[in-house]
Amino acid sequence: QMTARPQIVLVAMFVFTSAALAAFTPAHAVVSTGLRVRATGPVLQLRDFLCDEAGVHDRFVDKVLRTCDDEMIGDVRALRIARDAALLDVIFKPVVARGIEAALDRLAPSVGIATAQVQQILAEAAAPASPVDLPVDMEVEPYSDILGNLPLNTFKPKKPYQASIVSAKRIVGPNAPGEVCHVQINTEKNLKYWEGQSLGVIPPGLSPKTGKPNTVRLYSIASTRYGDDLHGGTVSLCVRRAVYWDKEAAREDPAKKGVCSNFLCDSTPGQSVSVTGPTGKVMLMPESNPAADLIMVATGTGIAPYRGFLRRLFVERTPAGAAFTGLAWLFLGVANTDALLYDDDWQAIAQRDPERFRVTYAISREQQRAGGGKMYIQDRMAEHAEELFERLSRGAHIYFCGLKGMMPGITEMLEKVARDRGLDWVETLEGLKRNGQWHVEVY
């Protein structure tokens, strides 16, 4: 496809070629372009790295190697893990720690990272008018047997998987109240998950409250099982940077910022990240009933699982998408237009498949209710209360993900419709839960 987007393909080829050379070429090699190529894999021995890259003098390198042995650091990758966990200063003398850190920053990303970046570039460039073919098959038999093949806690907090960052990109406009990043993580196809599950992330460092290593934070997965690379080698998250605004000082207080969200939003390609999971079975799609409507309700980053749903149904060519005959209806509440998440994707799907997909926004700072006041997601849903209730009565599944503050207004709205129809809302809600139609993951 060189004629369609040649500049992107050439950049992608350069990234991949450079990383491939970096992984398989000795550190002293010089390619014809004059670029010095440094290896990041086992080709580059630890002694060579310390002497040639980190600036450790021959006189002291054996002492540094003994320290590495004591800490069970046997290769450069382990040094990177120690760096990402903020342990270099704990393990080594300051001048050695600084040299190692600077050398790691200069190293090229691994082939796995570069490959994922290339695949991401090409996937973004494609902008398909119809679902894309998948180069690998990650379906089960039958494809709808989700619960029977559910991956759970493959990696646990005591033994997490050491993944690496592919990219962390800001995905909101300049006037959005806060920063949201789409974070793609390379798992080398070692972590399998279903749409609707969550991933655990253990941020590096120690908790200031306990003095012990930081604990797991859970994030809803924002990609399909195929990942954004379409090869099943990545997992994506939608992360809002958590900051604390000190009203008295009229500034952010860095001491109270969210440890994990800031780590993820600030992460760079190739950086190590400890992940656990996958977890969860509350937010799975009912693929055994392809005629069921899906009503997806989100505030902010609560949209994450629905990105996985909608890519599986409308963007990637899957048996679930081919069989789906219901309506996928997305409700998203945000503060302003700049805070809309993945809007281009939703508009493209709506244009391509208006009979099976609908998107409805509640933009609180720009829209008003009919009677005045800000338009919140429960207000927007109230405009469609009768249709929503009717679809639920015919077997629709409704999902809630995001801030728990949206729930009271939504349940009050549905309760009113039930009462107008002469139904008992408590019994109706229990029936929805009993039938597996009511899915809630709020915080």
Catalytic positions, please? 219-220, 401, 441, 443
Question: Residue 12: left if φ>0, alpha if ψ -120 to 50, beta else—which one?
Answer: alpha
My answer on whether omega of the bond before 42 falls inside 30° of 0, hence cis, is: no
Cβ(194)–Cβ(139) under 8 Å?
no
Cα-only R_g, the chain: 24
Helix (H) or strand (E) holding 426, with range, is helix 425-434
Helix (H) or strand (E) holding 9: helix 6-24
Residue 271: Cβ-neighbour burial (10 angstroms; 0-12, 13-18, 19+): buried
Compute the C-alpha angle 116/171/403, nearest 5°. Answer: 110
The helix or strand, by DSSP H or E, that contains position 440, with its residue range, turns out to be strand 438-442
Give the max Cα distance, the chain: 87
Q: Which tokens belong to 44?
A: 């580059």
Angle at 387 between CA 377 and CA 347, to 5 degrees: 55
316: β partners: 132
Residue pair 285/312 in contact (Cβ under 8 Å)? The answer is yes
